[in-house]
């Protein structure tokens, strides 16, 4: 999610939008006339092949409206759900009856999660008074303020144990786990939007931070390097306001690694990037693309399983705006599908088409392309994806030029008078089921029963970090 620049704490303002607190959250908007195509407040609508098995509301410490549910990671029979106030561990051994195992309170925003072995990595993207779980917000202008990566031992999922914190420049908006060799993991930290008044987040910030973690000695984790990815400064942006503006590049929002292919895709504000990560400690730009006409903010990326396509998302409006409507249209706030043409250093990203959900949303529903993952069907390119209050979409991009939706699930507006941040933040497919982290409603479990996706149920994983894609059919 694209953040809001903090006045004192560093909650970045970008495109007039947010990441920590919704700019328009309290604004009263005029809802459009009721439509048979738009479900009512909190009403569920879905395609016939999407079966809603369960919903678990956000637990007590996370029940407040501004305690946003965020990203997922999975290990065995457990799902780990980030929240601006910490994270929750669920037992999903019975997907229709998930249970809360433990709740860890550790405020920090966004608290995106990744897992390696018995370690969980938590992103803190808010300047805090210190690196503890009792910290409170502190101005980013204060050199003593802290933000970065926290590490937890989850060998006992009922009692996760805080092990270590690593401070990173401009904090950690998201994190990407890249397995290394000889018991080492690398955490690629994405952060952005520097300010000359922030001692630990100085312009131009054309870099990422790489944290090296000895898995058996996580307390020795540290920043290995801060490689500059955009020595030419990246996309300068066009200086235009939302919704027509193109963001300048000052770091990356999200990085998706494909370790088995030694590749990584970067969504870096104004640039979409393909990286070579054969040398884990020295990621290298292979090629990049821009779409100054239709993309406002390159937000995230997903490879197909063959790694000859990348789906990039445009988080128009930073996730806090109503962009799934006729006024915005079908090319802004959408996915862009690129084929990877050529091999090695000669590879290029070639645009093929846009995909955006076809259903209308009200003016009180924040809706835009967001986080998703592949459904592992051999010979097909199918993914499930969150669209905030636009719901969840399952779509097929096997033909890069003609993507099509094959299933969907959504609720009506969280509030039919006010635009309040809500909806599905991340929707991922794991061991036969779709798990959605709803910002306000908590955990949703969905079973898609469709001959086009049923073969995906046969594929089982031990761990899934969506930003570290597995090769499902190697």
Strands 442-448 and 50-56 turn out to be antiparallel
Quick check: 49 and 448 in contact, CB under 8 A?
yes
* Domain spans, the chain: 4-464
> In the prediction, which pLDDT does 185 show?
97
User: What pLDDT, in 10s, does the model give residues 340-393?
Assistant: 999 999 999 999 999 999 999 999 999 999 999 999 999 999 999 999 999 999
Percentage of the chain exceeding pLDDT 90: 89
Q: Name the DSSP class of 371.
A: B
How many residues make up the chain in this entry?
474
Chain Cα centroid distance, residue 67: 16
> In the prediction, which pLDDT does 38 show?
87
> In the prediction, which pLDDT does 21 show?
34
Q: Name the DSSP class of 247.
A: P
Alpha-carbon separation of residue 254 from 55, 140, 267, 345 (angstroms)? 28, 22, 5, 22
> In the prediction, which pLDDT does 243 show?
64
Quick check: 285 and 273 in contact, CB under 8 A?
yes
Q: Name the DSSP class of 331.
A: S
Structure tokens at 16: 């007039």
**Which of 255, 315, 357 lies closest to 17 in space, CA to CA?**
315
Q: Considering only the top CATH level, what class is 4-464?
A: mainly beta
The whole-angstrom separation of Cα 417 and Cα 143 is: 41
Sheet strands (E) in 259-371 = 263-268, 271-276, 284-289, 298-303, 309-314, 335-341, 348-355
Mark the ranges of the chain whose per-residue pLDDT is less than 50. Answer: 3-35
The whole-angstrom separation of Cα 323 and Cα 314 is: 11
> In the prediction, which pLDDT does 181 show?
86
> In the prediction, which pLDDT does 174 show?
98
For residue 127, the SS3 value is coil
Alpha-carbon separation of residue 243 from 316, 318, 388 (angstroms)? 7, 10, 18
> In the prediction, which pLDDT does 114 show?
98
């Amino acid at each position: 999610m694209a953040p809001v620049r903090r006045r004192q704490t560093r909650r970045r303002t970008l495109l007039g939008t947010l990441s920590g607190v919704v700019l328009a959250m309290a604004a009263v908007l005029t809802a459009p006339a009721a439509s048979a195509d738009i479900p009512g407040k909190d009403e569920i609508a879905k395609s016939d092949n999407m079966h809603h098995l369960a919903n678990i509301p956000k637990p007590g410490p996370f029940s407040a409206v501004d305690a946003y549910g965020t990203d997922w990671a999975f290990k065995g029979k457990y799902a780990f759900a980030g929240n601006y106030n910490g994270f929750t561990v669920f037992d999903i051994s019975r997907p229709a009856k998930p249970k809360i195992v433990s709740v860890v309170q550790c405020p920090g925003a966004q608290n995106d999660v990744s897992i390696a072995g018995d370690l969980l990595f938590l992103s803190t993207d808010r300047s805090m008074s210190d690196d503890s779980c009792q910290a409170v917000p502190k101005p980013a202008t204060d050199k003593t303020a802290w933000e970065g990566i926290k590490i937890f031992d989850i060998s006992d999922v009922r009692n996760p144990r805080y092990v270590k914190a690593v401070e990173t420049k401009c904090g950690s908006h998201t994190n990407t786990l890249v397995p290394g060799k000889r018991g080492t993991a690398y955490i690629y930290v994405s952060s952005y939007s520097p300010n000359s008044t922030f001692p630990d987040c100085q312009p131009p910030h054309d870099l990422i931070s790489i944290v090296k973690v000895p898995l058996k000695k996580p307390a020795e984790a540290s920043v290995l390097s801060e490689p500059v990815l955009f020595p030419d400064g990246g996309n300068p942006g066009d200086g235009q306001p939302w919704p027509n503006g193109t963001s300048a590049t000052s770091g990356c929002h999200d990085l998706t690694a494909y370790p088995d292919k030694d590749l990584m895709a970067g969504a870096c504000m104004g640039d979409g990037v393909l990286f070579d990560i054969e040398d884990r400690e020295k990621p290298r730009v292979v090629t990049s693309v821009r779409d100054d006409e239709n993309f406002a903010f390159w937000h995230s990326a997903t490879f197909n399983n063959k790694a000859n396509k990348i789906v990039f998302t445009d988080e128009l409006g930073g996730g806090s705006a109503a962009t799934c409507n006729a006024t915005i249209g079908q090319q802004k706030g959408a996915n862009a599908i690129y084929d990877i043409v050529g091999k090695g250093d000669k590879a290029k990203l070639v645009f093929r088409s846009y995909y955006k959900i076809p259903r209308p949303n009200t003016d009180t529903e924040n809706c835009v392309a967001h986080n998703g993952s592949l459904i592992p069907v051999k010979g097909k390119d199918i993914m499930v994806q969150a669209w905030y209050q636009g719901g969840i979409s399952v779509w097929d991009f096997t033909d890069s030029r003609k993507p099509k939706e094959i299933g969907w699930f959504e609720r009506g507006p969280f509030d039919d008078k006010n635009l309040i941040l809500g909806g599905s933040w991340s929707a991922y497919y794991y061991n036969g089921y779709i798990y959605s982290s709803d910002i306000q409603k908590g955990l949703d479990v969905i079973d898609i029963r469709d001959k086009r996706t049923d073969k995906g149920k046969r594929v089982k994983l031990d761990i899934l970090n969506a930003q570290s894609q597995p090769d499902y059919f190697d």
